[in-house]
Amino acid sequence: MASASACTARTPVVPCRAAWQPSSRRSRCDFGSRPASRPRQRASRSSSLLVSASQPLMTPRCGVVPHPLSLPVPIAEILPPHLPACRTQDMAGDPFGLLLRQRIIFLGGEVTDFAADAIVSQLLLLDAQDATRDIKLFINSPGGSVTAGMGIYDAMQLCRADIQTYCFGLAASMGAFLLCTGAKGKRYSMPNARIMIHQPLGGASGQAVDIEIQAKEIMYHKANLNRIMSDATGQPIETIEEDTDRDRYMSPLEAKNYGLIDHIVGGEEAVFKIVGNTKNFPKTRREYIAWGDEDNDGSRSERFLRPAEPYTQPVKTKE
């Protein structure tokens, strides 16, 4: 009896988990009603779900149901280009985050309310971190909303740090406005960039009173923009109104002489200059209308003084 009890003590019998589990739960030891490979299959399925959950939100694997909170478009398409699409990525895959640490902000694409909110938040953040260091704003924009651009302008004026502005590619409309409203002496342009200024664009529809209200609003924005650009460039308001009546494109050299920028990256020697042509390029609306009507010597061509007569070849008849 002692040996039997000792043998029993050496080899204890592990009771089944179903013996102490509640009867309402289905026993996991009931291998008769469930195949033995079923728990292993469930484990593999749960592991696949864990792997798929660690993937980005908008890149579901094949056969996995997308997350119910997934967006209809990729996140990278709704975020402005100066914001990273995924904040959990490493620093090597986040160039805009690295540039933001160097106090560099990008304005690329149209000036929208969403882009303006992002730029304003970055300006205020960098200014709160260190107000003694300049903030660089790189601009490559065809323009956009006037109210959104005025929001960025007000944030630039609110910052204690100086805002350096740089033009890459094209700075048109509100892009040119933000370019010239940077800190005096710290407005730059790349040698092959283009700058364009014009008056505000808009439209109205509805009843006569509604159209009158919208017309007064756009005229207010026109006068306000001309006033600020006059202070930034040093040009009279009359000159600003005449030059912005239509699209006015400028090279970096013309923009520097106009007062929109202060410096050209690489110096004036890096700017492409047209030589060998004595005809001056138009500077005002009247010159644009009459452009091309003069010869190289400055005199008006005869082909514009009288209409050209049609040339007819005499008909030869047989004698």
Catalytic residues: 173, 198
Start-end of H helices in the chain: 2-10, 38-53, 75-78, 95-101, 113-129, 146-158, 174-180, 208-233, 237-243, 252-258, 285-289
Kindly tell me the burial class for residue 38, based on how many C-beta atoms sit within 10 Å of its own C-beta (0-12, 13-18, 19 or more). exposed
Q: In whole angstroms, give the CA distance from residue 248 to residue 266.
A: 24
Contact 176, 196 (CB under 8 A): yes
Q: Which residue, 40, 39, 120, is CA-closest to 82?
A: 120
Q: In whole angstroms, give the CA distance from residue 29 to residue 52.
A: 30
Q: In whole angstroms, give the CA distance from residue 156 to residue 160.
A: 9
Residue 187's alpha-carbon distances to 172, 259, 306, in angstroms, are: 15, 10, 49
Three-class SS string for 150-163?
HHHHHHHHHCCCCE
Q: In whole angstroms, give the CA distance from residue 117 to residue 122.
A: 9
User: How many C-alpha atoms does 87 have within 13 Å on its Cβ side?
Assistant: 2
